[in-house]
Amino acid sequence: MAIKKQYLKSKPVCKVTFSVPAEEAKKVAVVGTFNEWNEKKAVKLKKLKSGTFKGTVDLEKDNSYEFRYVVDGTYINDEQADAYAWSDYAGAENGVLNL
Q: Are strands 2-7 and 13-21 parallel, antiparallel or unpaired?
A: antiparallel
- Assess whether pLDDT exceeds 90 at residue 61: yes
Using pLDDT thresholds of 50, 70 and 90, give the confidence band for residue 58. very high
Region 66-78: what's the mean pLDDT?
96
Note the pTM of the prediction, 2 decimals.
Answer: 0.93
Res. 82 pLDDT band, cuts 50 70 90: very high
With 90 as the cut, is the pLDDT of residue 90 above it? no
Nearest-angstrom CA–CA distance, 92 and 20: 20
pLDDT digits (tens, 9 = 90+) for 5-19: 999 999 999 999 999
